Amino acid sequence: MDKIGWANGILIETGKSRLLFDPTPGRRLNPEWNVFITHAHSDHTYGFRTPAKKYSTYETLHIHQALRNCEIKRTQTLRLEESVKIGDAEVTLLNAGHMLGSCQFEIKTPKFTAIYTGDINCVDTLTTKAAEQRSCDYLIVEGTYGHPSYSFPRRNTMYADIIRWTMMEMKSGRVPTFQVYSAGKPQEVVRLFNMYTKIPVVCNPTISHANSVYVENDVNLEFLDSSTPDGKKALRRGGCVYVTSGRSDHLPHNASKAVATGWALQAFRSCTAFPLSSHADFDQLIRFVSHANPRRVYVFTGYTDLLAKQIESRLGIEASPLPAITQTKLLDFN
């Protein structure tokens, strides 16, 4: 009996194969498990800490190692479009457009094709290409911004807004300071200033480590590390941008804080907020599902109920939140 469902990660059982995608803490994994990791954000990388056989892109593994300062064993790295055979299933990595190295997994079995998206973004950014679109029988899609109120502005408009705000803050003698994650968004912000301005960019050491993996993989980033003499001098003098991931980081005394996140479309009172997201917005998600044209959609994370209902009413495709694997009746393909 084949199954798709949630079991501390997205679990697909087919024939004798058990494949677990982006596992989360709470499940004991032994070396016989096959674990697939979509990208290097910490809410997706628990699998790296387990003794299971692991699969990810080279970039995901190396960003994770750079951020954690560790070496991960038993991981097979694969390129985008590359496949691996596990029993009856052939698993292929597809670009997810979310950050460097992020991928979706396409699972082909003798009975069905499923795609698990992980986190996706369906437009080009300064550091990534839009997510690849393929058709499938079962689509497991994220619903982070799966509410119609999430409609992101055009990316170029947001880039211009960020640069305009930065110039104004610098003119007033402040250091524009972006508080973002360690990997993904910060590299896009660095690239933005590198491409369109001559403003020096200083990054905290954690982001600098992730930056170096981007540079190794041909994403050209110019930056100063805040822990180096040059980085410290630039922050003291001003006339630069600071990009930091740590909320507790020591900020320049004249820092002017901003965040870049899709949640900026909600009221954000504590600082300036730009709705620059690494995720698909509602319309992108609906278009993505429409192109995949699956028999059934399972939504995980975020607006699971609401997005499933919208998919059913707008596209006429069966959809539901991803059920727990124990609800076998819903999941039986036979």
Residues near Zn ion, by CB under 5 A = 41, 119
Listed in sequence order, the residues at least 6 apart from 80 whose beta carbon sits closer than 8 Å to its beta carbon are 57, 93, 94, 95, 103
Sign of the Cα pseudo-torsion (244, 248, 253, 255, in order): positive
248: nearest Cα among 204, 212, 211, 200: 204
Burial class of residue 22, CB neighbours in 10 A (0-12, 13-18, 19+): buried
Question: Which residue, 41 or 209, is less far from Zn ion as judged by CB?
Answer: 41
Whether the Cβ atoms of residue 187 and residue 210 lie closer than 8 Å to each other: yes
Residues 6+ apart with CB under 8 A from 52: 20, 23, 29, 30, 31, 32, 33, 34, 35, 74
Shortest distance in whole angstroms from residue 63 CB to Zn ion: 11
Specify the amino acid at residue 210: A
Kindly tell me which of 184 and 200 has the beta carbon lying closer to Zn ion: 184
* Minimum CB–partner distance for residue 39 and Zn ion (Å): 5
Per DSSP, 49 falls in state G
Cα–Cα distance, 176 to 144 (Å, whole number): 28
From the CB of residue 150, how many other CB atoms can be counted at a distance below 10 Å? Answer: 23
Q: What strands lie across the sheet with 34-36, from one edge to the other?
A: 3-6, 10-14, 17-21, 34-36, 53-57, 75-78
Instruction: Closer to Zn ion by CB, 119 or 281: give it.
Output: 119
Least distance (Å) between residue 225 CB and Zn ion: 24
CA 125 to CA 131: how far, in whole Å?
A: 11
- Nearest to Zn ion of 96, 175 (CB atom): 96
Q: Shortest gap between Cβ of 301 and Zn ion (angstroms)?
A: 10
> Among all residues, whose Cβ is closest to Zn ion?
41
**Least gap, CB of 57 to Zn ion (angstroms):** 14
Q: Which of 96, 170 has the CB closer to Zn ion?
A: 96
CB of 322 to Zn ion, least distance (A): 17
In the complex with Zn ion, the residue whose CB is nearer, 272 or 277, is: 277
Which lies closer to Zn ion via its Cβ, residue 100 or residue 175? 100
Least distance from Zn ion to the Cβ atom of residue 40, Å: 8
